């Protein structure tokens, strides 16, 4: 059903009542479908995983276990990873390979560990555990697992609103005048969940920050750096280059991984930074790890020998994922857009659609979807402490189900959004 062009706010009470009865009937009909659909997390589907099955055969007893430096990758050593992976991600992130540490499969683990190091030994000053009322800036809506790390370590989480070009930099510049503010979380390209890519101006303002804390760091999680869905995608200015120009090269710590390039559970993650930052991190890693899984790094290096190979892989992913995004966006455009009760971004890449419904209805939309078999990310999850002050944001993850299932899920979502809004209006 395509909604009448008239916005809900312009309808008479009689029209609203009739519309609610119609939507309610559509919702009740969903119960007979016995659905079991999941749009709760940004997981790739099985088709996407199949694209990387060759990884399973790229290192075996017959084809050698040594890398280009003749390192036997089965053995101990090389705690910062093999050269091929560092060179690949150095090019992707725009830093020299010598300033990259390649680890295990999870960039989130590296982020957690880096924060933990800050707590116990500091990241350029005294241990953060010794700082009373320590604070961390959290652009929101953002990645709930980022927020969870700093909440776990006892930071006060400060919400920074997201604008159409990135975080509110006026607020960031004001907050960093407080020396108890130790860092900020950033997903700079196709931000989780809005899909916004930081503008050149925002990146330059990050590089030009003059924080009161000499151990303030930008945690630059470039999780979707190669995850374009449409054409060439967005372009992101190189933060590290801008920091070098400003003399602030020690400020950013950058992260990325192959989690949604190959196998999320068996990929390669990296962190990068200035020579000073990498020297500090490596001086600690040597007590923690004799060497990462270099066999896994080697097979990734053989499958993805250069950036062109990564781009070719990501085009294949986009061909699978793009129809799923299109299905959700098409449904919302046809049935919700003209009602005036919701809005959303149309991202050019990444893994999410950020849906803003009528204030104080997001939790209700989540509940309505759950009741008929559609699981969404909990409403509010994209905000510090899981509390969306407007109760309006929902993070939609359309990548896991099949296209047909996504079309069904999108219809359920559309009906639930309208149901929750009309329920408050009648």
Judge if 225 and 196 occupy the same domain.
Answer: yes
3 within a domain of the structure (yes/no): no
59 within a domain of the structure (yes/no): no
**Number of continuous H segments (helices) and E segments (strands) in the chain:** 13, 13
387 within a domain of the structure (yes/no): yes
SS3 content of the chain, % helix, strand, coil (to 5): 45, 15, 40
pTM: predicted TM-score of the whole model, two decimal places: 0.95
1 within a domain of the structure (yes/no): no
Judge if 246 and 342 occupy the same domain.
Answer: no
Judge if 39 and 120 occupy the same domain.
Answer: no
Pick the last residue of a domain from 247, 277, 305: 305
Cα–Cα distance, 142 to 380 (Å, whole number): 10
- The percent of residues above 90 in pLDDT, for the chain, comes to 95
Domain count, the chain: 2
Running DSSP on this structure, what letter comes out for residue 66?
B
What angle, rounded to 10 degrees, do the helices at 13-30 and 403-425 form?
140
Task: For residue range 79-127, list pLDDT tens digits in order.
Answer: 999 999 999 999 999 999 999 999 999 999 999 999 999 999 999 999 9
Helix (H, G, I), strand (E, B) or coil at 390: coil
193 within a domain of the structure (yes/no): yes
Pick the last residue of a domain from 305, 335, 363: 305
Q: Which of 66, 114, 79, 110 is nearest to 290 (CA)?
A: 79
Judge if 132 and 41 occupy the same domain.
Answer: no
Mean pLDDT of the residues in the chain: 96
- The percent of residues above 70 in pLDDT, for the chain, comes to 99
Judge if 285 and 324 occupy the same domain.
Answer: no
pLDDT at residue 6 in the model:
64
Cα–Cα distance, 184 to 301 (Å, whole number): 31
Pick the last residue of a domain from 278, 305, 332: 305
Cα 54 to Cα 49, 50, 64, 294, 319, distances in angstroms: 10, 9, 16, 17, 19
Judge if 354 and 371 occupy the same domain.
Answer: yes
Judge if 389 and 277 occupy the same domain.
Answer: no
25 within a domain of the structure (yes/no): yes
Judge if 108 and 189 occupy the same domain.
Answer: yes
Cα–Cα distance, 167 to 198 (Å, whole number): 8
The CATH number of whichever domain residue 41 belongs to comes to: 3.90.1150.10
Handedness of CA 53, 57, 59, 64 (dihedral sign): negative
Judge if 74 and 128 occupy the same domain.
Answer: yes
Cα–Cα distance, 421 to 412 (Å, whole number): 14
The CATH number of whichever domain residue 166 belongs to comes to: 3.40.640.10
Domain that holds residue 406: 8-49+311-425
Judge if 320 and 293 occupy the same domain.
Answer: no
Judge if 14 and 129 occupy the same domain.
Answer: no
Q: Residue 2: which pLDDT band, with cuts at 50, 70 and 90?
A: very low
Which residues lie closer than 8 Å to 276 by C-beta, 6 or more apart? 249, 250
Q: Tell me the mean pLDDT in the region 127-151.
A: 97
55 within a domain of the structure (yes/no): no
**Range in 56-70, 140-154, 270-284, 327-341 the model is least confident about:** 56-70
Q: What is the DSSP string of 227-246?
A: -B-STT------HHHHHHHH
Judge if 181 and 263 occupy the same domain.
Answer: yes
171 within a domain of the structure (yes/no): yes
Running DSSP on this structure, what letter comes out for residue 181?
E
Running DSSP on this structure, what letter comes out for residue 393?
E
Q: Residue 4: which pLDDT band, with cuts at 50, 70 and 90?
A: very low
């Amino acid at each position: 059903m395509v909604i009448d062009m008239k916005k809900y706010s312009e309808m008479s009470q009689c029209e609203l009542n009739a519309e609610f009865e119609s939507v309610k009937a559509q919702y009740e009909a969903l119960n007979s479908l016995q659905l079991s659909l999941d749009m709760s997390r940004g997981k790739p589907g099985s088709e996407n995983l199949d694209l990387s099955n060759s990884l399973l055969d790229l290192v075996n007893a017959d084809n050698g276990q040594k890398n280009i430096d003749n390192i036997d990758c089965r053995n101990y050593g090389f705690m910062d990873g093999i050269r091929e992976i560092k060179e690949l991600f150095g090019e992707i992130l725009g830093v020299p390979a010598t300033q990259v540490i390649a680890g295990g499969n999870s960039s989130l683990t590296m982020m957690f560990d880096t924060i933990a190091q800050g707590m116990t030994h500091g990241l350029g000053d005294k241990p953060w555990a010794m700082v009373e009322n320590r604070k961390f800036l959290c652009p929101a809506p953002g990645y709930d697992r980022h927020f969870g790390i700093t909440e776990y370590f006892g930071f006060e989480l400060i919400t920074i609103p997201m604008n159409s070009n990135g975080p509110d930099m006026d607020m960031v510049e004001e907050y960093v005048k407080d020396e108890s503010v130790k860092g900020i979380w950033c997903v700079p390209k196709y931000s989780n969940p809005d899909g916004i890519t930081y503008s050149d101006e925002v990146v330059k303002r990050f590089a030009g920050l003059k924080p009161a804390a000499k151990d303030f760091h930008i945690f630059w999680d470039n999780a979707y750096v190669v995850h374009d869905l449409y054409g060439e995608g967005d372009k992101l200015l190189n933060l590290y280059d801008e920091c070098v120009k400003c003399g602030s090269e020690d400020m950013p710590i950058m992260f990325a991984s192959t989690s949604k390039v190959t196998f999320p559970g068996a990929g390669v993650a990296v962190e990068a930074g200035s020579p000073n930052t990498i020297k500090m991190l490596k001086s600690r890693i040597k007590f923690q790890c004799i060497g990462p899984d270099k066999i896994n790094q080697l097979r990734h290096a053989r499958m993805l020998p250069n950036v062109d190979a990564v781009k070719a892989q990501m085009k294949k992913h986009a061909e699978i994922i793009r129809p799923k995004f299109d299905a959700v966006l098409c449904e919302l455009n046809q049935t919700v857009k003209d009602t005036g009760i919701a809005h959303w971004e149309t991202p050019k890449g990444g893994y999410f659609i950020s849906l803003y419904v009528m204030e104080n209805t997001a939790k209700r939309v989540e509940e309505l979807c759950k009741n008929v078999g559609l699981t969404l990310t909990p409403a509010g999850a994209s905000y510090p402490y899981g509390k969306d002050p407007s109760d309006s944001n929902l993070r939609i993850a359309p990548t896991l189900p099949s296209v047909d299932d996504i079309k069904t899920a999108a219809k359920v979502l559309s009906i639930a959004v309208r149901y929750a809004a009309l329920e408050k209006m009648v």
